[in-house]
Structure 1
Amino acid sequence: MIFLFLALLFFILGVVIERFKVYGLISGYNSMTPEQQQKVDTKKLGRLIGYYCYTLASLFILIAFSEWQSFTPGIIIGIALTLVATLIVTIKAPKYDGNLYDKDGKPLSGQKKKAKIPLIISSVVFIGVGIMMYFSLQPTAITISEDTLQIAGMYGDDIPLQHIEAVHVLDTLPPIAARTNGSAIGDHLKGHFKLENGDKVKLFIDKGVPPFIEVRTADETFIFNLQTAADTQQLATQLQQHTIQ
């Protein structure tokens, strides 16, 4: 639902900026002095930002539809193209600023370092998001040692077996209300979430591969699964045997 709202928002922004020429909505331009604004090619900048907003609106619709269909590749493609579009705009937009670049698109004397800042920031964000997506999509390694249930990777935890009060196998997930601190890419959910009944839970799951194991301690609830249903069932049996002892 949030992506459909964002799609509508960016489409409206694109129309207002590109069609109605409300350039004051463009970040950076609206904070310039009148003298600095006169050196900006607002027509080209407005067209670029407008088309960028239309592109984002289209990509957010793609992501929303992919989420609805639980089609993880569509979500990944949508997010990746969003990052690429943002990187392109970050590179091109400053070139319409006559305070930084000349008419040939070359940085003015003394402005080279300043002109590179947006590119550096965008590149760092691009790489950071890519790394986060990669690790979010990796299967969670879950093992049982002599006295500990170990959940590796992002948001992982070590749970002493003696602290486990209950182990249940769930055929379906309880309704999830919100993500509070974690990642959610298609069927892959990792981190802290809130259930519709208000309970807090840590998830390490692929929703497309039931069943799921629910582990409860006095303070926390964990729900996780492995790459296959057979592996999940086997892990559940091992956990139940360890906690009974």
Structure 2
Amino acid sequence: MVVLIGIQLFVIALFTLLGWAIRYKKVYELISGYAARSEEEKEELIRNGYPQKNGSLLLLTALGMLLLLPLALTHFRFTMEVQFGFMLIFLMGGMIYLSKYEVPRKRRRSYWISSILMAAVFALIGGITFIGYQKNELIVSKDSFQITGMYGDKWDKGKIETVELLDEMPEVTWKINGFGLSKKAKGVFKVKDYGRSLLFIKKESSYIYVKVKNQHLFINGGSPEETRLWYEELAD
């Protein structure tokens, strides 16, 4: 939670600094592609209010994220999704809106590029989210066990060093390479007292910890009952 709040504060501070520099200090070169434009285009953009509104967009995005920040201190389960969802929608939607302040001959192209980019980003995020939310299954055989789905793999059952059923998940301190949302975590994460670990978890009341071949694994099922059943199969 502390790491998440720290990341949000950094993004808010960055957007505020950039927005302030563009809007009030007129450092328009911070806007992508602005420095490469002709002097005539720059003057026309300034008359249209395009660079100024870019600065305002960043400031408003930072303000919106700041107003949503207290959600991280509540028990609301979708805090991260709401905060970063707002950031993406507001920023990318704002870029589409700002197309109307472009120079006339580039206005249409700017609108379509921004719209296509927004559609592509949300399609990609939607696809990753859909795949990430697919359930991982634990399949135990006589000589091996396998975790299916994203980041899944197969391990030699005879090389298991430890199997424990935990009532609480140890603190996850950092995502290295994986899919992490408020309710799910899949992939490689740093876990306090365990170090680099492979997670296949959602927020439940119990978790299975497995150490195999110097690798730390955490997994749980769709219910506490299923998690216990998986634990008994692994511990057998």
Instruction: Using the TM superposition, give the Cα deviation of residue 148 of structure 1 relative to its aligned residue in structure 2, in angstroms.
Output: 3.4
CA contact (8 A) 1:213 1:225 kept: yes
Instruction: Using the TM superposition, give the Cα deviation of residue 197 of structure 1 relative to its aligned residue in structure 2, in angstroms.
Output: 4.3
- 2:140 matches 1:144: yes
Structure 1 counterpart of 2:82: 77
Structure 1 counterpart of 2:117: 121
CA contact (8 A) 2:45 2:51 kept: no
Structure 1 counterpart of 2:93: 88
Structure 2 counterpart of 1:177: 173
Q: Give 3-state SS (helix, strand or coil) of 1:80's partner.
A: helix
Structure 2 counterpart of 1:223: 218
Structure 1 counterpart of 2:13: 8
Structure 2 counterpart of 1:189: 185
Q: Give 3-state SS (helix, strand or coil) of 2:136's partner.
A: coil
Change (3 A) 1:119 1:140: same
Cα RMSD after superposing both structures: 2.7
CA contact (8 A) 2:69 2:83 kept: no
Q: List runs of 5+ in structure 1 lacking aligned partners.
A: none
Instruction: Using the TM superposition, give the Cα deviation of residue 212 of structure 1 relative to its aligned residue in structure 2, in angstroms.
Output: 1.0
CA displacement, residues 18-58 of structure 1 (integer Å, 9 cap, x when unaligned): 23333222122133233432232465323432332134324
TM-score by length of 2: 0.82
CA contact (8 A) 1:94 1:100 kept: no
- 2:150 matches 1:154: yes
- 2:201 matches 1:205: yes
Structure 2 counterpart of 1:25: 30
Q: Which AA in structure 1 matches 2:214? A: D
What is the identity percentage for the equivalent residue pairs of Structure 1 and Structure 2? 26
Q: Give 3-state SS (helix, strand or coil) of 1:193's partner.
A: strand
CA contact (8 A) 1:14 1:53 kept: yes
Q: Give 3-state SS (helix, strand or coil) of 1:20's partner.
A: coil
- 2:56 matches 1:56: no
Partners of 2:35 and 2:230 in 1: how far apart?
57
Change (3 A) 1:233 1:87: same
* Count, aligned residues: 231
CA contact (8 A) 1:212 1:232 kept: yes
Partners of 1:165 and 1:116 in 2: how far apart?
56
CA contact (8 A) 1:179 1:192 kept: yes
Instruction: Using the TM superposition, give the Cα deviation of residue 223 of structure 1 relative to its aligned residue in structure 2, in angstroms.
Output: 0.6
Would you identify which runs of 4 or more consecutive aligned residues in structure 1 move more than 4 Å? none
Q: Give 3-state SS (helix, strand or coil) of 1:40's partner.
A: helix
Structure 1 counterpart of 2:3: none
